[in-house]
């Protein structure tokens, strides 16, 4: 389906369900990313990498080295890898960066976006840029109070306006707990990421979680992001045009690390911590990094530098990690 037709089909879907011609921002993002047969993450296409037709690059796209570092970090966190399965959630089509380390674990389970993962009794859950790929609410400080933003879908153009009331109890509770901010300040909140994480860590399985993503705390968002953190990615270009090309571009915002830490703690995880990706790998996969650095392979050392250097992925991404059991 051509991008224009996909966009129009998503808008038509939203118009059919809109109350008063307006939907919540979270609902629009949900339809744009996961609408059946229309959403960006539903399409069977290669999104990650540097080839023509891709939209963005992640650390995992740097190849098998990423798997080696994750395996080293997993060993640091849980010890005996052979007693644990490696469970990847949110895998992109065509990527196999863990195939080279599968034999180190009891088994390898890989689940693409939208699939319902299953967890053995002991495992290491790994997700790379899964949480930022969830629908998000938008809130604005207006008239001395926090209000939720929606999108008017009845009309020649999509326009943003405050909702008359909060779309969900979770949105109301989130806004009610926020501190004051300057008039007009916007805060993006991927509450769906919190719910997804609750589902992933439910049950009694033990082991570790390693969640790689980019994010901030709520306080950091209220200090340095007056326009919010929502943005679109298409053809390796960052854009603020998040209401255009629905279904044909990635819509994302920073995850809220402090709220995700609470989810893990409530599920019985300990040593819950967020580190810069650089610091995480230095601390937990130092031996693998040293082996690669001393290999004499310029391509391998270049990839390692891209993965860990603060000017590249090293500072841009963070890692939320914890253990249970």
Which tokens belong to 235? 């053809």
Residue 265 has a CB neighbour count (10 Å cut-off) of 12
Expressed as residue numbers, the domain containing 275 is: 3-324
Q: What is the pLDDT of residues 182-239, one digit of tens each?
A: 999 999 999 999 999 999 999 999 999 999 999 999 999 999 999 999 999 887 688 8
List 30's β-bridge partners, or say none: none
CATH of the domain at 162: 3.40.50.12710
Q: What is the pLDDT of residues 130-147, one digit of tens each?
A: 999 999 999 999 999 999
Q: What is the pLDDT of residues 272-296, one digit of tens each?
A: 999 999 999 999 999 988 888 888 8
Instruction: Please count the structural domains in the chain.
Output: 1
| β-strands 122-128, 137-142 pairing | unpaired
| Residue 41: closest CA among 87, 13, 6 | 6
* DSSP per position, 129-157: S-GGGS--EEEEEETTEEEEEEEE-SSSS
Q: What is the pLDDT of residues 10-66, one digit of tens each?
A: 999 999 999 899 999 999 999 999 999 999 988 777 666 666 666 566 665 666 788
Residue 96 CA to residue 84 CA, distance in Å, equals: 19
Q: State the chain's mean pLDDT as an integer.
A: 91
Name the pTM for this structure. 0.91
- The stretch 301-313 carries a mean pLDDT of 70
Residue 62: predicted pLDDT: 64
Which tokens belong to 310? 């603060």
């Amino acid at each position: 389906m051509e991008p224009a037709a996909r966009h129009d089909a998503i808008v038509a879907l939203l118009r059919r369900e809109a109350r008063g011609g307006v939907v919540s921002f979270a609902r629009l993002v949900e339809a744009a990313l996961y609408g059946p047969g229309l959403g960006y993450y539903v399409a069977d296409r290669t999104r990650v990498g540097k080839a023509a037709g891709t939209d963005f690059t992640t650390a995992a796209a740097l190849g098998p080295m990423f798997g080696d570092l994750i395996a080293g970090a997993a060993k640091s966190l849980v010890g005996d890898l052979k007693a644990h399965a490696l469970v990847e959630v949110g895998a992109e089509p065509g990527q196999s960066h863990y195939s080279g380390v599968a034999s180190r674990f009891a088994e390898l389970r890989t689940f693409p976006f939208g699939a319902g993962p299953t967890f053995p009794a002991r495992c290491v859950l790994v997700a790379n840029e899964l949480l930022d790929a969830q629908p998000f609410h938008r809130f604005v400080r207006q008239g001395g109070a926090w209000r939720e933003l929606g999108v008017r879908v009845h009309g020649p153009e999509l326009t943003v306006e405050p909702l008359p009331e909060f779309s969900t109890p979770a949105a109301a509770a989130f806004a009610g707990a926020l501190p004051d901010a300057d008039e007009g300040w916007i805060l993006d909140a991927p509450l769906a990421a919190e719910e997804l994480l609750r589902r992933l860590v439910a049950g009694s399985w033990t082991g570790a979680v390693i969640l790689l993503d980019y994010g901030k705390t709520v306080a950091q968002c209220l200090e340095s992001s007056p326009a919010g953190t929502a943005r679109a990615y298409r053809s390796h270009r960052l854009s603020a045009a998040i209401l255009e090309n629905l279904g044909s571009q990635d819509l994302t915002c920073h995850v809220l690390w402090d709220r995700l830490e609470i989810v893990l703690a409530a599920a019985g995880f300990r040593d819950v911590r967020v580190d810069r990706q650089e610091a995480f790998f230095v601390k937990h996969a130092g031996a693998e990094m040293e082996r690669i650095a001393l290999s004499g392979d310029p391509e391998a050392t270049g990839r390692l530098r891209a993965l860990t250097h603060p000017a590249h992925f090293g500072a841009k991404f963070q890692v939320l990690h914890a253990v249970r059991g």
